[in-house]
Amino acid sequence: MQSSRNTLSSLWQALFGDPLRAFGLVSLLLLISLAIAPAKNHFSEWHHYQKQYLAMIRGRGEAITLQRHLQEGIQQIWLPEIGVVDRCTTCHVGSKETSLADVTTQPFRRHPVIPHRIDQFGCVMCHRGQGPATTVEEAHRSTLAWEQPILPARYIESSCGQCHRGALAGTPRLNEGRHMLARYGCVHCHTIKLPDGSTMKATDDPPSLSHIADKTTREWIYAWLKDPQAYAVSATMPNFKLSDADGRDISAFLIANSTPVPGDTAPVVTSKAPPDPTAGASLYGESFCASCHAVQNAAGNVVGGDVGPELTRVGNKVKPEWLQVWLRNPRLYDPGTGMPHYRFNDQQAGVLAGFLQNKTDSDLLANVHLDPPTPEQIAHGKTLATEYGCASCHEISGIKKPENFAPELTRIGSKPVTQLIFLPGMPHALPDYIAAKIRQPRSFGAALKMPQYTFAPSQVDALTTALLSLTERSQTLPPALTVAELPPSNYQPAGKAGRLITDLACFSCHAINGRGGDMAPDLTWEGSSVQRQWLKDFLKNPNTLRPALIRRMPKFNLSDDDITELTDYIMTVYQTPAFDRDSMPVSGYSPAEVEQGRGLFYSKYGCQACHIVDTNKDKGYIGPTLTQVGSRLNAAWIYYWLKNPQVLRPGTTEPNRNMSDDEARALTAFLMTQKGSGKQEAKK
Amino acid sequence: MKTRAILIAWLGLMLCGCSHKRTGLLVGNYGTTIVESSGGKQIGAVGTTLTEPVVVQVNDDQGTAVVGAPVVFSGPAGVSFDPAIGATDASGQFTTNVRLGGMAGRYEITASTFTKAKKRVDLKLQEIALGYQQEVGFQIDEKYCTRCHSPESTPERVSNYDNLEVKPHAFTEGDTLNKISDADLTAIISYGGPARNKSALMPPYGYTLSKSEIQAVIAYIRLISDPPYQASGMAYAQK
């Protein structure tokens, strides 16, 4: 102790004993402290990168231009209205240099072409990370103080979704993810509020279970609950990983709780053995069931549409008498179904039901043996159905749809990492957490209720992308800075025709006034487009206009009254304001005009690339066949379509040719002479 | 005492590390060549996993598949493999899922195996990553171009290629398309084939697509062309 004090005092004497020496020493210390700031800059990472950049551009042809663009020192993009303070361009100096396209080393790479300018949006808006940071580590990774890491490239589209509420051409994964949130029923349990105050709506239509005993057996319900994908690989119902006892009790409850559908649902008396064993398959094909329903083939591929449920093992599921009633008129069992009312006669319904009833898998229910349920089991089943939130998706009489059943996801994309509980071994980042939750929800705790979905890795990425777009910023952005989605349409046609359109489920395939599917042409302006007689004939017996398509308009066996009703309605109501449908004559064009049109069709515009006028010569089949176009379409529609098809049907495949009025008129004249009748077609 | 404990712990850790590595490469057999079975030349978005896995096969001198031969995948920064290392299965093949890097462009990935003499044999495969602009181009191609420009048909989308008197060029046909300048491609897409003395069967898209959309299509065509497109006028002396 004494010796150390001695040493200190002698050191003090040696340094500050002499005033001159003390002054010199203090000056030196001052000088060093003044040099710290510039030295820190000099040895900083960003200065190192700026020097490297200068060295890199020195050898290039446009070195002088690049050097002039370079601003040394810390650079900052400051956008107060969207809360952006970004210093990324301090190191990413070449991000705006188009001539650096061949440079692949970071941080000097040119930013790929996007529709936005960096100085208007900054970097962290899209890439996340810490904008104000000036070291590589703090800017890109999560540290103790700043926890927002850079967003991996595979989720980058989520950033577009913060401002763009609707689908964009360049963001297929975001679009798919948003579609899945609605299609797979995520939003039945999880509330997602949109910035405009509305709530995201589900687009799936889980069936009501109130009359389930009419439709299927307890054994099938049990097998389905245990593993929905064993019944249909494309089933969207997730697996709740129920125990045998829970499956037994829920199935017991659902059957016991079911009440018969009121009204006339007496089963049809099937004529014994259909006259032709292939009749069922033919009717299935003629009715274009495969446009909406898929069947798994021997190779394991699911072939067909995904509008209705997969039918690979439908014979295991439905009761024969229910199926016949359903095929005769599906709306008796489910008034809101997307399945059209086909107006099959009793014999057709019987044949088709017999065909579908044979689609079975003997293994599916082979090991399901259920004893008659006890009242305790039924009561327990009801408790389970309530606890698992079955009523969030399905209507079940006696159980109310629960509110806020699962955590709200409105701001999930901004959830702080500190609020997440990670599994051992997984990266501590929000995207990884969300993806893991979707992939295997129960891995976060066996008692969790979220079921197991069967998603492909790309689907998990898409869903994660869509969820990451639900950020704090997306909720708080001024509306002026966002790009709104087209509001959903709840268009409903009126009157008797409106009821027919609902009964035939036209909206399942066709869109009208913004509502409906995209499988078939938009009918919003069908009345301006077609001729009355053609429409009547088509509704009576639809023959395809596009031979290359496998999905076609089915025959609904409509009565003459129904056809007249529908035709009148379509011809009167679905009219475009863009032109007068009688502004062009149906006939009376001069032969010279017709010949000019023919020339334009075959040489100048090369229409035969996509359309067929002469079946012996033309082969194109991207657009509809035009052999009878003169008796199908309205002359004024043809004329204005040729002038600009994109105006009449936005997004149609046919490009705008920028035709002159004379040319459009001549082509209309030529096309109106194409009146080849259907009978001649049949002969060929 | 303390030092000895630390030393033992350190040795233990080292051994663990070594033994882990050894099990990873524990293989019994060796081939002489490595060939692609499937999965090359795929197109995916930046940062995403390719839809099809990459499958390679290790063969011996006679060309028969070798079971249990080592395979190691490697690629440029940002590319990851699941799994990156392993041995060929019962059919002599090794399958891996490839996740592309975060930058648009071509990625050359290497699959390697080792001969009995510890000599490395490489197989180079190319995969393509689409950035935002190329992705927009791809979407437009899917909607407007591909049914004529690609001879491939699917049940959902039948190709129109065979119906055309003058055959269009597939967008991967680098031998032809690489010789057409950006300006000429823009003219053909905007004003149709006749704008550059090509067939009138190619319609104009300049009145339907915007300028940036047409640029996106060209960016997409340039990226997927085979052989790869080399931009002219971009060659600077590299240090």
Å from B197 to nearest chain A CA? 12
Q: Does A427 touch chain B (CB under 8 A)?
A: no
- Looking at the fold, whether B125 and B158 belong to one and the same domain comes out as no
Å from A606 to nearest chain B CA? 5
Mean pLDDT of A123-151: 85
| β-pair partners for A303 | A295
- Tokens 């823009």 belong to which residue? B186
Do residue A606 and residue B46 have CB atoms under 8 angstroms apart? no
Last residue of a domain, one of B114, B130, B146: B130
Residue B7 lies in a domain: no
Q: Which of A172, A606, A610 has its CB closest to that of B200?
A: A606
Q: Which of B136, B147, B205 has its CB closest to that of A169?
A: B136
Residues of chain A above pLDDT 90, percent: 46
Q: Does A461 touch chain B (CB under 8 A)?
A: yes
- Looking at the fold, whether B139 and B116 belong to one and the same domain comes out as no
- Looking at the fold, whether B137 and B214 belong to one and the same domain comes out as yes
Q: How far apart are CA A224 and CA A210, in angstroms?
A: 17
DSSP A100-159: GTT--STTSPPPPP-SS-HHHH-SHHHHBS-TT--SHHHHHS--SS---PBPPGGGTHHH
Q: Which of A115, A155, A605 has its CB closest to that of B200?
A: A605
Mean pLDDT of A395-422: 90
Q: Which residues contact A402 (CB under 8 A, 6 or more apart)?
A: A386, A389, A391, A392
Å from A32 to nearest chain B CA? 38
Residues of chain A above pLDDT 70, percent: 96
**Closest residue of chain B to A291, computed from CA coordinates:** B156
Å from A161 to nearest chain B CA? 14
Q: How far apart are CA A229 and CA A239, in angstroms?
A: 8
Contacts of A306 in chain B (CB under 8 A): none
Residue B18 lies in a domain: no
Do residue A154 and residue B48 have CB atoms under 8 angstroms apart? yes
pLDDT computed for residue A453 by the predictor: 93
A375 DSSP assignment: H
Q: How far apart are CA A641 and CA A646, in angstroms?
A: 8
Tens of pLDDT, residue by residue over A450-490, are: 999 999 888 999 999 999 999 998 888 888 888 888 777 88
Q: Which of A56, A291, A601, A656 to mutate to test the interface with B (most CBs of B within 10 A)?
A: A656
Å from A114 to nearest chain B CA? 6
Q: Does A104 touch chain B (CB under 8 A)?
A: yes
pLDDT computed for residue B234 by the predictor: 45
Question: Tell me, what amino acid is at B30?
Answer: Y
Tens of pLDDT, residue by residue over A650-663, are: 888 999 999 999 99
pLDDT computed for residue A269 by the predictor: 58
Q: How confident is the model at residue A419 (pLDDT cuts 50, 70, 90)?
A: confident
Residue B125 near residue B109, CB atoms below 8 Å: yes
pLDDT computed for residue A273 by the predictor: 57
pLDDT computed for residue A113 by the predictor: 87
- Looking at the fold, whether B96 and B145 belong to one and the same domain comes out as no
Mean pLDDT of A148-168: 90
- Looking at the fold, whether B47 and B100 belong to one and the same domain comes out as yes
pLDDT computed for residue B183 by the predictor: 93
Do residue B162 and residue A619 have CB atoms under 8 angstroms apart? yes
Q: Decide if pLDDT at A633 tops 50.
A: yes
Q: Does A609 touch chain B (CB under 8 A)?
A: yes
pTM as predicted = 0.87
pLDDT computed for residue B24 by the predictor: 43
Mean pLDDT of A87-104: 84
pLDDT computed for residue A62 by the predictor: 82
Residue B15 lies in a domain: no
Domain that holds residue B56: 33-130
pLDDT computed for residue A29 by the predictor: 92
**Neighbour-count burial of A353, counting CB atoms closer than 10 A to its CB (0-12 exposed, 13-18 middle, 19+ buried):** buried
Tens of pLDDT, residue by residue over A1-26, are: 677 888 888 888 888 888 888 899 89
Q: Which residues contact A407 (CB under 8 A, 6 or more apart)?
A: A190
Which H, E and C letters describe chain B, residue by residue? CHHHHHHHHHHHHHHHHHHHHHHHCCCCCCCCEEEEEECCCCEEECCCECCCCEEEEEECCCCCECCCCEEEEECCCCCEEECCEEECCCCCEEEEEEECCCCCEEEEEEEEEECCCCCEEEEEEEEEEECHHHHHHHHHHHHHHHHHHCCCCCCCCCCCHHHCCCCCCCCCEHHHHCCCCHHHHHHHHHHCHHHHCCCCCCCCCCCCCCHHHHHHHHHHHHHHCECCCCCCCCCCCCC
Å from B200 to nearest chain A CA? 5
- Looking at the fold, whether B126 and B78 belong to one and the same domain comes out as yes
Residue B5 lies in a domain: no
pLDDT computed for residue A464 by the predictor: 96
Q: Which residues contact A236 (CB under 8 A, 6 or more apart)?
A: A183, A184, A185, A204
Å from A321 to nearest chain B CA? 34
Residue A242 near residue A225, CB atoms below 8 Å: yes
Residue B69 near residue B88, CB atoms below 8 Å: yes
pLDDT computed for residue A98 by the predictor: 80
Residue B6 lies in a domain: no
Residue B45 lies in a domain: yes
- Looking at the fold, whether B141 and B153 belong to one and the same domain comes out as yes
Q: Does A603 touch chain B (CB under 8 A)?
A: yes
Mean of pLDDT over chain A: 88
- Looking at the fold, whether B150 and B110 belong to one and the same domain comes out as no
Tens of pLDDT, residue by residue over A501-546, are: 999 999 999 999 999 988 888 999 999 999 999 999 999 988 777 7
pLDDT computed for residue B236 by the predictor: 41
Q: Does A658 touch chain B (CB under 8 A)?
A: yes
Q: Which of A113, A600, A607, A619 to mutate to test the interface with B (most CBs of B within 10 A)?
A: A113
Last residue of a domain, one of B103, B130, B157: B130
Contacts of A170 in chain B (CB under 8 A): 132-133, 135-136, 139
pLDDT computed for residue A502 by the predictor: 93
**Helix, strand, or coil here: A400?**
coil
φ, ψ at B125 (rounded to 5°): -125, 150
- Looking at the fold, whether B141 and B202 belong to one and the same domain comes out as yes
Last residue of a domain, one of B130, B157, B184: B130
Do residue A152 and residue B102 have CB atoms under 8 angstroms apart? yes
Between positions 542 and 561 of A, the ones with CB within 8 A of B are: 548, 550
Q: For position B62, which CATH number holds?
A: 2.60.40.10
Q: For position B200, which CATH number holds?
A: 1.10.760.10
Instruction: Give the residues of chain B that fall short of pLDDT 70.
Output: 1-27, 231-239
Do residue B131 and residue A656 have CB atoms under 8 angstroms apart? no
Do residue A609 and residue B133 have CB atoms under 8 angstroms apart? no
- Looking at the fold, whether B96 and B164 belong to one and the same domain comes out as no
- Tokens 């709506």 belong to which residue? A201
Q: How far apart are CA A482 and CA A161, in angstroms?
A: 10
**Neighbour-count burial of A359, counting CB atoms closer than 10 A to its CB (0-12 exposed, 13-18 middle, 19+ buried):** middle
pLDDT computed for residue A262 by the predictor: 76
Instruction: Give the other-Cβ count within 10 Å of A492's Cβ.
Output: 12
Q: Which of B132, B148, B215 to mutate to test the interface with A (most CBs of A within 10 A)?
A: B132
Give the count of domains, chain B.
2
- Looking at the fold, whether B146 and B99 belong to one and the same domain comes out as no
Residue B10 lies in a domain: no
- Looking at the fold, whether B108 and B141 belong to one and the same domain comes out as no
Report residue A235 as tokens.
Answer: 């089933």
Contacts of B130 in chain A (CB under 8 A): none
Q: How confident is the model at residue A570 (pLDDT cuts 50, 70, 90)?
A: very high
Residue B24 lies in a domain: no
Å from B66 to nearest chain A CA? 28
**Closest residue of chain B to A63, computed from CA coordinates:** B236
DSSP A268-298: P-PPSS-SSTTHHHHHHHHTTGGGT-EEE-T
Tens of pLDDT, residue by residue over A183-242, are: 998 999 999 998 888 889 888 889 999 999 999 999 999 999 999 999 999 899 999 999
* Among the listed residues B198, B127, A140, A314, the one whose alpha carbon sits nearest the alpha carbon of residue B190: B198
Tens of pLDDT, residue by residue over B186-231, are: 999 999 999 988 999 999 999 999 999 999 999 999 999 988 888 6
Instruction: Report cis status (omega within 30 of 0) of the bond before A373.
Output: no
Q: Which of B82, B148, B160, B239 to mutate to test the interface with A (most CBs of A within 10 A)?
A: B160
Please give the residue that has the higher pLDDT: either A40 or A190: A190
Q: Decide if pLDDT at A436 tops 90.
A: yes
Domains in chain A, CATH or no CATH each: 45-150 (no CATH), 212-383 (1.10.760.10), 495-573 (1.10.760.10), 591-683 (1.10.760.10)
